[in-house]
A = this chain, B = another copy of it.
């Protein structure tokens, strides 16, 4: 991939042995100077130890490094898990010679397995030695679990003549559902952004990106999105116009990453945008979109490239939203398949089936009642999804 320059940040990723397959499983992000930081975390009642540690540390609004391991979620690991998460951060802090309070930590992998801290300890010196401004690919690989591709998005901006960069990296392919900040995502920017504004802008971007995707309806115990701003580019996000501009760039980065996550969904062969409009309220549209996007029957029909619109309508019907089934129109991309609650016949189905053969498509459900609208990105439900998840721990 093309070279990214987010000033003052360096990255690394190494093999510590936490993953059984011998691939990279320990990553580090380091900022030369303390950076503003904001985070959004899982809303699951069961929360992993690193999430609990970060929630406390992030209150200061400052951070210099994030250490991340895959291969173990360090969740449901009790008091020992908490100690281990703190130790994991401390190992990095010690070698980097910075305050351990400025180090955040994230984990992903199997739940309930104690963290093999000895392996991490042995690997930290190499992890730090390999830090490099060009190391983001190694970092992206180190945080992958069932992901098949690393996920990195970068955008350049300019404020008052000072160029700056926003670079985000994410992992996630399963336990993905739109009710929270989903999976792991780390965003670095060399712009100057106050911690308060960073918090505000992150919450807004997450709502438009990671909270609008689903793979399997399961929400994780470890979901974490962090954004760090170290100011080293000289660009200062100060005025209201700057903030709007920065928000737009961050939205773009998170939306692209969210899209990459769904596209790489476990076993997924298709990326499908479920668009619902014409509802009495926005929350009705959201209920319908999420229910369709999570329906196993809709998702298996998508895998089978079957324009089985009855399942879409049945899912809408059980969403809890109010609507008149006799008014519903359904489109596959631009092909009108259902008009006023009834199928448009064989010719429409032939066209809709063509759309379903595409790797990316949209399904629009128009309730023709009000101005409410919402959309959720989802993927299909394949035989490989079952294979991956029946064998995950073996």
* A313 beta carbon closer than 8 Å to chain B: yes
* A310 beta carbon closer than 8 Å to chain B: yes
* A75 beta carbon closer than 8 Å to chain B: yes
- State whether A296 and B112 are in contact (beta carbons under 8 Å apart), knowing that A179-B318, A221-B317 are contacts in the complex: no
Q: Mark A350-394, 1 if CB is under 8 A from B, else 0.
A: 000000000000000000000000000000011101110111111
* B310 close to A112 (CB less than 8 A): yes
Q: Copy number in this complex?
A: 2
* B382 close to A386 (CB less than 8 A): yes
* A46 close to B316 (CB less than 8 A): yes
CB closest chain-B residue, reference A390:
B304
Closest Cβ–Cβ distance, residue A300 to chain B (whole Å): 4
Interface size on A, residues (CB 8 A): 65
Q: Which residues A102-147 have CB closer than 8 A to chain B?
A: 110-113
* B78 close to A311 (CB less than 8 A): no
Q: Mark A186-221, 1 if CB is under 8 A from B, else 0.
A: 000000000000000000000000000000111111
Bound CA–CA A295/B341 (angstroms): 30
CB contact between A216 and one of B179, B296, B303 (< 8 Å): that residue: B296
List residues of chain B with CB within 8 A of the CB of A258.
Answer: none
List the one stretch of A57-65, A161-169, A237-245, A321-329 in contact with chain B: A321-329
List residues of chain B with CB within 8 A of the CB of A308.
Answer: 110-111, 392-393
CB contact between A295 and one of B77, B110, B218, B390 (< 8 Å): that residue: B218
Closest Cβ–Cβ distance, residue A83 to chain B (whole Å): 14
* A314 beta carbon closer than 8 Å to chain B: yes
* A309 beta carbon closer than 8 Å to chain B: yes
- State whether A111 and B218 are in contact (beta carbons under 8 Å apart), knowing that A76-B342, A342-B78, A386-B300 are contacts in the complex: no
Closest Cβ–Cβ distance, residue A281 to chain B (whole Å): 15
* A318 close to B177 (CB less than 8 A): yes
CB contact between A326 and one of B78, B296, B318 (< 8 Å): that residue: B78
Bound CA–CA A308/B76 (angstroms): 12
Q: Which residues A292-348 have CB closer than 8 A to chain B?
A: 294-297, 300-301, 303-304, 306, 308-311, 313-318, 321-323, 325-326, 338, 340-343
List residues of chain B with CB within 8 A of the CB of A218.
Answer: 295-297, 311, 314-315, 318
* A99 beta carbon closer than 8 Å to chain B: no
* B318 close to A219 (CB less than 8 A): yes
- State whether A387 and B392 are in contact (beta carbons under 8 Å apart), knowing that A219-B314, A310-B73, A318-B219 are contacts in the complex: no
Q: Which residues A150-194 have CB closer than 8 A to chain B?
A: 174-175, 177, 179
* A341 close to B177 (CB less than 8 A): no
* A45 beta carbon closer than 8 Å to chain B: yes
- State whether A325 and B45 are in contact (beta carbons under 8 Å apart), knowing that A217-B296, A309-B112 are contacts in the complex: yes
Interface, chain A (partner B; CB < 8 A): 43-47, 73, 75-78, 110-113, 174-175, 177, 179, 216-221, 294-297, 300-301, 303-304, 306, 308-311, 313-318, 321-323, 325-326, 338, 340-343, 381-383, 385-387, 389-394
What are the nearest 8 A-B pairs in CB distance? A111-B310, A304-B390, A46-B317, A300-B389, A44-B317, A45-B317, A219-B318, A112-B343
